[in-house]
Amino acid sequence: MAWRSSGTSNAELVENMVRNGLIKEPEVKEAFLKVDRAHYAPSFPYDDSPQPIGHAATISAPHMHATAVEHLLPFVLPTDDRPAPRVLDIGSGSGYLTHVLAELAGSRAVVVGVEHIAALRDLGEKNMNKSDRGKELLREGRVRFRVGDGRKGWVEPGEEDKKWDAIHVGAAAAELHQGLLDQLKSPGRMFIPVDDDDGGWGQHVWCIDKDEHGKVTRKKLFGVRYVPLTDPPGH
């Protein structure tokens, strides 16, 4: 039922994703209702389709964001064992998914969006500042936007010893980069599209789990079309 969830308002878009089975968990529905996609999409914000946001980047279709959140949810929600989740959003682009993840991760969490182009980092911050809630999350440091090479993950200054409970990658990696695996906590989960030729799709999303002992398992989910996780233009 992907691509069939467009609405005329944020609430209608979310309800259609629920009806089509793309949003399953009530916490996910609540988070998406809190974040108005009109603050992040340049036009037709409630269409269930990707849109260009400049610099050869896109904001993914809402159903793709919903799918990513549903898979990462167990490692994003705060628990007694994980009261302050740390979430990394690589290829944060418009900042939309970064904001949704922050709504789920709770008041003690840190969600960091990483972009390889400063203008896109700035775009995420600008879009979040369109709402009082977004301003609050930025002011409190619960959401932070950084410029860096997402293929290497991200180490937050002053927090060098801390890893990530959940990693979302919003661009297609040429491979499953070791730096990302190294920065994934045990236990932790990563949602990442990877280039491959299997089945003729060219790219597939993988769900990568690391258990409490550091053992890594990989599950191929579905074929996709993402912009590449690569160098900034001109490099």
Question: What is the tens place of the pLDDT at every residue in 149-170?
Answer: 888 899 999 998 999 999 999 8
Backbone angles phi, psi at 121, to 5 degrees: -60, -45
**Element at 182 (helix H, strand E):** helix 178-183
Per-residue confidence band for 229, with pLDDT thresholds at 50, 70 and 90: low
Nearest residue to 172 (alpha-carbon basis) of 147, 154, 197, 148: 197
Determine the residue type at 7.
G
Please give the positions annotated as active site: 60
Q: Give the Å distances, CA to CA, from 159 to 59, 75, 183.
A: 29, 19, 12
**Within the chain, what is the greatest distance between any pair of CA atoms?**
47
Q: Record the pTM.
A: 0.92
Please give the pLDDT value at position 1.
44
117-121: long-range pairs with CB below 8 Å, 24+? 117/55, 117/57, 117/147, 117/232, 117/233, 118/147, 119/54, 119/55, 120/53, 120/54, 120/55, 120/57, 120/92, 120/93, 121/92, 121/145, 121/146, 121/147
Query: Mean pLDDT across the chain, nearest whole number?
Result: 90
Q: Which whole number is the average pLDDT over 95-121? A: 97
* Position 183 pLDDT exceeds 90: yes
Please give the pLDDT value at position 174.
64
Domain 53-223 has CATH 3.40.50.150: yes
Q: What's the rounded Cα separation, in Å, for the pair 201 and 184?
A: 27
